[in-house]
């Protein structure tokens, strides 16, 4: 492990190649806009018949100048932050992470699991499970849950890494375990090449005892959403359904326009989910009745914000803010290569990472700046305690402090 002292450098710092590239791209767009307006001025504001219109040349030129001036002012106001790591840790294979109690729990695809002090990067313990992992880890109430391709869900003690219990499913663990109020939900396939199906298991978080199981022909690689009374899940069978939390009995189901691969989530008494054809649905949490639906272009994944607003990102990389209550489109932003699971808020701005390690800073749909991770991203980062924990393509996990957007001071972790 190597620890560095730098925390943040702002726009213009030597070596910020990604930052420079971003600014050059914006400048080229502005230059093209300026050229367009200059051409219009040179044409003398001619009408379709070739005659000069009543508006004098200086008026057209003034409009072009004002537009260019305003665009340059917006460009100059962009704040580009190049983040520098406070620690880094080499790790073989792709990594997924979770954080609890000041520790970062990292699971690599080849099967290594480790606990790292989030503040310093010091390794508390490291364990090789000897089997490839198939699902991201979940840390809750001092227990780390990890799913593997050998059909086993492992429950490890967060303090020491010791095995507490394990549960063997019918097939490969498909998604990150969901833990709530002493219950662990885990989904697995049926270990078949053809006619894939899935099974939802509800386990006792204390000892891994099976509480109930639900079989479905609607295979899905995504985790369920857990409410106070029910569990909600979509799938390949073009449906979303609700299961009784206590028994696993099906309460209701809703037929969709296409496959539902992403996890649903709950907001404002509704179950929100998206099908792969770009349609977003909001169903009543208790009855499954349709509250509203919204059509967006292409494949869509969703991210909640926790304040009655959620974000939908289409295949065309258009990020749309939508009100959970009414399904109203509040604003949209055109990005590029946005990473699923990478949206968070910082000082009132929406931040969305792309695969190059840049996070757009968006305010009401308008670009205000960007964060830049110089090493890029191999997967969506973990955001916790005002830090970004990122797995990079060079085989390292790094911790980056987030800046305060009110100024240049670094906001240290709480």
Reported as a single tens digit per residue, the pLDDT across 44-100 is: 444 444 444 444 554 545 554 444 444 444 444 578 889 999 999 998 877 899 999
Asked if residue 211 and residue 126 are part of one domain, the reply reads yes
Percent of the chain whose pLDDT exceeds 70: 78
Task: Say whether pLDDT at 171 is over 60.
Answer: yes
Q: What is the mean pLDDT of residues 331-345?
A: 85
Q: Which residues pair with 226 in a beta bridge?
A: 231
Task: Say whether pLDDT at 121 is over 60.
Answer: yes
Q: What is the pLDDT of residue 165?
A: 98
Which range marks the domain in which residue 49 is found? 2-81
DSSP 228: S
Task: Say whether pLDDT at 410 is over 80.
Answer: no
Asked if residue 126 and residue 76 are part of one domain, the reply reads no
- pTM exceeds 0.95 for this model: no
DSSP 75: H
Q: Of 177-186, 310-319, 352-361, which gets the smallest average pLDDT?
A: 310-319
Does a structural domain hold residue 189?
yes
Measured from the Cβ of residue 78, the count of other Cβ atoms closer than 10 Å reads 15
Asked if residue 99 and residue 77 are part of one domain, the reply reads no
Max mean pLDDT range (159-173, 232-246, 353-367): 159-173
Max mean pLDDT range (12-16, 27-31, 136-140, 316-320): 136-140
Looking at per-residue pLDDT, the higher value among 21 and 227 belongs to 227
Domain count, the chain: 2
Does a structural domain hold residue 303?
no
Does a structural domain hold residue 402?
no
Q: What is the mean pLDDT of residues 252-268?
A: 90
Does a structural domain hold residue 57?
yes
């Amino acid at each position: 492990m190597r620890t560095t002292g730098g925390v943040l450098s702002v726009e213009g710092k030597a070596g910020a190649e990604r930052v420079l590239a971003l600014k050059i791209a914006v400048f080229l767009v502005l230059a093209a806009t300026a050229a367009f307006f200059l051409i219009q001025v040179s044409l003398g504001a001619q009408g379709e018949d070739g005659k000069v219109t009543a508006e004098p040349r200086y008026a057209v030129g003034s409009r072009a100048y004002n537009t260019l001036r305003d665009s340059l002012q917006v460009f100059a106001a962009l704040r580009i932050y190049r983040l520098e790591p406070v620690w880094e840790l080499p790790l073989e294979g792709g990594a997924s992470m979770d954080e609890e109690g000041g520790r970062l729990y990292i699971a690599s695809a080849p099967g290594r699991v480790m606990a790292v002090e989030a503040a310093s990067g010091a390794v508390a313990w490291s364990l090789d499970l000897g089997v490839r992992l198939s699902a991201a880890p979940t840390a809750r109430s001092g227990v780390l849950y990890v799913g593997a391709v050998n059909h086993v869900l492992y429950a490890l003690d967060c303090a020491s890494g010791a095995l507490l219990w394990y549960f063997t499913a019918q097939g490969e663990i498909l998604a990150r375990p969901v833990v709530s109020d002493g219950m662990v939900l885990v989904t697995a396939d049926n270990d078949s090449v053809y006619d894939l199906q899935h099974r939802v298991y509800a386990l006792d978080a204390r000892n891994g005892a099976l509480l109930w199981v639900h079989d479905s022909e609607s295979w899905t690689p995504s985790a369920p959403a857990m409410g106070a009374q029910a569990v909600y899940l979509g799938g390949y069978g073009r449906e979303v359904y609700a299961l009784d939390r206590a028994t696993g009995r099906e309460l209701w189901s809703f037929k969709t326009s296409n496959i539902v691969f992403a996890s649903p989530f709950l907001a404002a008494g509704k179950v929100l989910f998206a099908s792969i054809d770009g349609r977003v649905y909001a169903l009543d949490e208790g009855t499954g009745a349709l509250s509203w639906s919204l059509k967006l272009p292409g494949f869509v994944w969703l991210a909640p914000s926790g304040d009655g607003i959620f974000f939908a990102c289409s295949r065309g990389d258009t990020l749309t803010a939508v009100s959970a209550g009414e399904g109203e489109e509040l604003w949209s932003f055109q990005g590029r290569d946005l990473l699923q699971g990478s949206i968070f808020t910082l000082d009132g701005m929406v931040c969305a990472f792309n695969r190059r390690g840049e996070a757009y800073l968006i305010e009401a749909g308008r670009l205000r700046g960007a964060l830049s991770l110089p090493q890029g991203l191999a997967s969506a980062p973990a955001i916790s305690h005002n830090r970004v924990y990122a797995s990079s393509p060079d085989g390292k996990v790094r911790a980056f402090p987030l800046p305060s957007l009110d100024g240049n001071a670094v906001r240290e972790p709480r």
